[in-house]
């Protein structure tokens, strides 16, 4: 049975929501995958009288397209959309049957008005968490606009095709045969990439906000919700809503939620923010801040500017990358940046930590209690960490320290299997077999855009007091972009809430 009893029960409830008939055009061969696909399609047809099936020959076999009767939508699944893609199949059935996609009307209008032919192809794996976001967004475009088609391709079923297109990570999207992008992309991001983003004129003449939050991560979401709950005019302007959690695999330390996935956490953040009267301006980068007489003005990359009676800066940080081959390719497949978060996933395995400063040595000590063995690689001739940390590190039986080690490559197949470095003393190339690489060469705050407008420390972090206030009246800051030494989701959210309440207090007093 291709669908287990639980899945069938859930599916039955969804299929009841179908509003019109759907025609599945199926291209099947005599291989095992085709047989499984036929089983799935037949099962769907038995479960709902609204689903009709017709055999045909499509560009790829096995595959099937999901159509209105008498009108092709352009949505095709090549391979079997089970695993994380099962939701994409269910949504495609509902939307093709006539149920409106749950998207902002503004995005729906942009999708309908897109001009020109757009043929998208997305390579996925059924265990990828980010893939369904892209597949579902492109399917929505196909449902809404007759000039757009989208084919999801399971790379495991179409291995040769994936290899010949050099697919090393999923999701990877092609548009009209040319590479379009990779990684998680929302409908809004795809539309912006297609040139359909709102221009500066949409931001002109916006009334000043009581609290204007710059950034879209956990700190920003929390600041905006706390501000909006006071009933004051609140706006969020963010380069990419969700922040670092978009790139996080598993989250196990957000207290009260035992385990969740980064993309799901980011989607929940957005949903919670949208529950309030908050003006969310996503995909907009702030490029400057100026304190004027009555307002703080935030300049945007698109040329517009926004005004806030108070401003919360929460532009977060990014991990400093080592910049060697394999680092991007194996990110979340053995390359990790957060030992508190991802360490437990490497229990009993051999790992390395790149970086011998305080964060690297702390990470190594932390990891040594979980993993089988840790190799610390430091570029210079000695570790830079505090001596107390170094003593603790050297006392551990399962840690090797390599100094004068210049990492040159992280190797692997599906996941990391090793690390290559140059021993700078002997000038020889060395290779270590291991399953995890923790890059610990520091965090870079996203604060360059502020220049000298707000006080920052030597690391570029915004200096705040215990109210989250900066040196500029009315300007507050929260989360990873500040000089708070602890960078975690729960801490960012706490400081976001704190700054919003203090910004409210500031507004009352002024
Ligand atoms: C791989 C990884 C795994 C992690 N795992 C965990 C974990 O398991 N548990 C945990 O507690 N923490 C974890 N962390 C740390 C956690 O994600 C951060 O502490 C948290 O996201 C910080 O939130 P923030 O809102 O301060 O900043 P961010 O999440 O960095 O968000 C910053 C926001 O500001 C926006 N922005 C940046 N510059 C601009 C600009 N100029 N204009 C407009 N917007 C801008 C960004 O697009 C983003 O929306 C992890 C981090 C990483 C990278």
Ligand 1 neighbours (beta carbon < 6 A): 214-220, 237-241, 243-245, 247-248, 251, 253, 285-286, 314-317, 319, 337-338, 341, 446, 449, 479-480, 487-490, 492
Q: What value does the mean pLDDT of the chain take?
A: 93
Which ligand 1 atom lies nearest to the CA of residue 247? Answer: 1
CA 495 to chain centre: 22
pLDDT, one tens digit per residue, over 95-118 is 999 999 998 898 999 999 999 999
- Does residue 253 lie in a domain region? yes
pLDDT for residue 345 is more than 80: no
Distance 217 CA to ligand 1 centre (A): 5
pLDDT at 415: 87
- Report the Cα–Cα distance between both ends of the chain, in Å, rounded: 67
Q: Which of 244, 267, 312, 342 to mutate to test the pocket of ligand 1 (most atoms within 8 A of CB)?
A: 244
Mean pLDDT throughout 169-194?
90
- Ranges 42-46, 412-416, 465-469: which has the least confidence: 412-416
In this structure, what are the phi and psi dihedrals at residue 377, rounded to the nearest 5 degrees?
Answer: -110, 120
Please indicate whether residue 130 or residue 169 has the higher confidence score (pLDDT).
130
Domain count, the chain: 3
- Tell me, what CATH number does 422's domain have? 3.50.50.60
Q: Are residues 171 and 131 in the same domain?
A: yes
Of 168, 193, 218, the domain-final residue: 193
If asked whether residues 150 and 256 sit together in one domain, one would say no
> Quick one: 79 and 175 in the same domain?
yes
Q: How do 399-402 and 373-377 pair as beta strands?
A: parallel
For a mutational test of ligand 1's pocket, the pick from 212, 245, 283, i.e. the residue with the most ligand atoms closer than 8 A to its C-beta, is 245
494 and 459, same structural domain? yes
pLDDT > 70: what percent of the chain? 99
Judge if 253 and 310 occupy the same domain: yes
pLDDT above 90 coverage of the chain, percent: 78
pLDDT of res. 169: 65
pLDDT at 341: 67
Flag whether 325 is in a domain.
Answer: no
**Residue 1 above 90 pLDDT?**
no
Whether residue 360 contacts residue 378, with contact meaning beta carbons closer than 8 Å, is answered with: yes
The answer to whether residue 324 is domain-embedded is: no
Structure tokens at 183: 């990684």
491-508 per-position pLDDT tens digit = 999 999 999 999 999 999
Q: Which atom of ligand 1 is nearest to the CA of 238?
A: 44
> Are residues 181 and 232 part of one domain?
no
Q: In this structure, is residue 330 part of a structural domain?
A: no
Distance CA 87, CA 102 (A): 14
| Mean pLDDT (whole number) for 354-371 | 92
Of 59, 40, 62, the residue nearest 51 (C-alpha): 40
* Type and span of the H or E element at 88: helix 86-96
**Which of 330 and 62 is assigned the larger pLDDT?**
62
| Ligand 1 atom 5, closest CA | 341
Pairing of β 399-402 and β 405-412: unpaired
Q: In the prediction, which pLDDT does 168 show?
A: 59
164 and 26: one domain?
Answer: yes
pLDDT of residue 4: 86
Closest CA to ligand 1's atom 12: 488
Of 416, 439, 462, the one marking the end of a domain is: 439
Distances (CA, A) of 429 to 4, 321, 407, 409: 51, 21, 10, 11
Q: What pLDDT score was predicted for residue 410?
A: 97
In a domain, 74, yes or no: yes
Question: Residue 157 and residue 345: Cα distance in Å, rounded?
Answer: 28
Which residue of 184, 446, 453 sits with most ligand 1 atoms within 8 Å of its CB, as the best mutation to test the pocket? Answer: 446
Q: What is the pLDDT of residue 325?
A: 96
- Mutate which of 217, 284, 319 for ligand 1? The one with the most ligand atoms within 8 Å of its CB, which is 217
How far is the centre of ligand 1, averaged over its atoms, from the C-alpha of 364 (Å)? 23
Mean pLDDT throughout 311-332?
93
Q: How far is the CA of 382 from the centre of ligand 1 (A)?
A: 31
- Asked whether residue 52 falls in the same domain as residue 111, the answer is yes
CATH number of the domain where residue 91 is located: 3.40.30.80
Instruction: Compute the average pLDDT of residues 255-281.
Output: 92
Q: Are 226 and 496 in contact (CB under 8 A)?
A: yes
User: For the stretch 160-189, what's the b/e string if a residue is b when 16 or more beta carbons lie within 10 angstroms of its beta carbon?
Assistant: eebeebebebbbbbbbeeeebbbbbbbbbb
What is the reported pLDDT for 171? 87
Return the pLDDT at 125. Answer: 86
Instruction: Identify whether 326 is part of a domain.
Output: no
Structural domain that includes position 393? 335-439
CA distances from 27 to 39, 83, 123, 154 (A): 13, 21, 19, 15
Q: What is the pLDDT of residue 251?
A: 84
Average pLDDT over residues 475-497: 96
The reply to whether 505 and 425 lie within a common domain is no
In a domain, 328, yes or no: no
pLDDT computed for residue 201 by the predictor:
80
Q: Please check whether residues 9 and 63 belong to one and the same domain.
A: yes
For the chain, count helices (H), then strands (E).
13, 27
The per-residue pLDDT for range 47-61, each reduced to its tens digit, is 999 999 999 999 999
Q: How many angstroms separate the alpha carbon of residue 195 from the centre of ligand 1?
A: 26
172 and 240 part of one domain: no
Q: Does residue 142 share a domain with residue 54?
A: yes
Helices 489-509 and 218-228: angle between axes, nearest 10 degrees: 40
pLDDT at 288 over 70: yes
Q: Which pair of structure tokens corresponds to residue 450?
A: 């502020």
Of 439, 470, 496, which residue constitutes the final position of a domain? 439
E strand residue ranges, 111-269: 118-124, 148-154, 172-175, 178-182, 209-214, 234-238, 250-251, 260-261
**Residue nearest atom 48 of ligand 1, based on CA coordinates:** 243
What atom in ligand 1 is closest to the CA of residue 253?
A: 9
Does the pLDDT of residue 247 top 80, yes or no? Answer: no
Task: Judge contact between 282 and 270, C-beta under 8 A.
Answer: no
Atom nearest to 495 CA in ligand 1: 26
Which residue from 279, 285, 283 is spatially nearest to 300, judged by alpha carbons?
285
Residue range 395-419: average pLDDT? 95
Residue 284 Cα: closest atom of ligand 1: 43
116-154 residue pLDDT tens = 999 999 999 887 778 899 999 999 999 999 999 999 999
Residue 127 lies in a domain: yes
Which pLDDT score, from 0 to 100, does residue 183 have?
Answer: 79
Strand partners, 122: 152, 173
């Amino acid at each position: 049975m291709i669908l287990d009893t639980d899945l069938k029960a859930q599916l039955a409830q969804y299929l009841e929501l179908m509003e019109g008939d759907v025609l599945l055009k199926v291209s099947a061969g005599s291989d095992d995958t085709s047989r499984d696909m036929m089983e799935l399609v037949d099962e769907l047809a038995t479960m709902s009288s609204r689903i009709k099936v017709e055999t045909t020959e499509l560009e790829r076999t096995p595959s099937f397209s999901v159509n209105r009767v008498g009108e092709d939508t352009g949505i095709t699944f090549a391979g079997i959309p089970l695993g994380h893609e099962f939701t994409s199949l269910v949504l495609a059935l509902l939307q093709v049957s006539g149920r409106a996609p749950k998207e902002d009307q503004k995005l729906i209008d942009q999708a309908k008005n897109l001009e020109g032919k757009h043929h998208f192809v997305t390579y996925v794996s059924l265990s990828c968490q980010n893939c369904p976001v892209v597949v579902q967004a492109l399917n929505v475009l196909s449902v809404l606009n007759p000039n757009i088609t989208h084919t999801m391709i399971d790379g495991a079923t179409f291995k040769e095709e994936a290899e010949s297109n050099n697919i090393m990570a999923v999701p990877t999207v092609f548009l009209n045969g040319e590479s379009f992008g990779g990684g998680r992309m929302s409908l809004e991001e795809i539309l912006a990439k297609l040139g359909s983003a709102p221009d500066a004129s949409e931001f002109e003449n916006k009334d000043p906000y009581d609290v204007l939050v710059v950034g879209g991560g956990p700190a920003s979401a929390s600041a905006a919700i706390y501000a909006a709950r006071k009933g004051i005019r609140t706006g969020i302007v963010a380069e990419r809503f969700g922040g670092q959690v978009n790139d996080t695999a598993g989250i196990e330390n957000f207290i009260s939620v035992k385990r969740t996935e980064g993309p799901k956490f980011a989607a929940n953040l957005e949903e919670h923010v949208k529950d309030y009267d908050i003006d969310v301006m996503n995909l907009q980068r702030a490029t400057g801040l100026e304190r004027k007489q009555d307002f703080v003005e935030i300049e945007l990359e698109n040329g517009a500017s926004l005004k806030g009676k108070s401003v919360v800066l929460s532009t977060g940080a990014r991990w400093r990358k080592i910049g060697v081959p394999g680092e991007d390719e194996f990110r979340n497949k053995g390359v990790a940046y957060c030992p508190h978060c991802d360490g437990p996933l490497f229990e009993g395995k051999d790992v390395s930590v790149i970086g011998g400063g305080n964060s690297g040595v702390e990470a190594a000590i932390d990891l040594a209690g979980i993993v089988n063995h840790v190799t610390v690689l430091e570029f210079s001739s000695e570790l830079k960490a505090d001596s107390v940390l170094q003593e603790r590190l050297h006392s551990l039986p399962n840690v090797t320290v390599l100094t004068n080690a210049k990492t040159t490559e992280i190797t692997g197949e599906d996941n990391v299997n090793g690390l290559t470095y140059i021993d700078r003393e002997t000038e020889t190339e060395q290779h270590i077999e291991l399953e995890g690489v923790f890059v610990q060469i520091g965090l870079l705050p996203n604060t360059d855009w502020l220049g000298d407008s707000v006080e920052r420390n030597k690391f570029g972090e915004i200096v705040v007091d215990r109210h989250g206030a900066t040196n500029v009246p009315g300007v507050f800051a929260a989360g990873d972009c500040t000089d708070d030494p602890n960078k975690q989701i729960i801490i960012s959210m706490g400081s976001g809430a704190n700054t919003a309440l203090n910004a409210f207090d500031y507004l009352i007093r002024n």
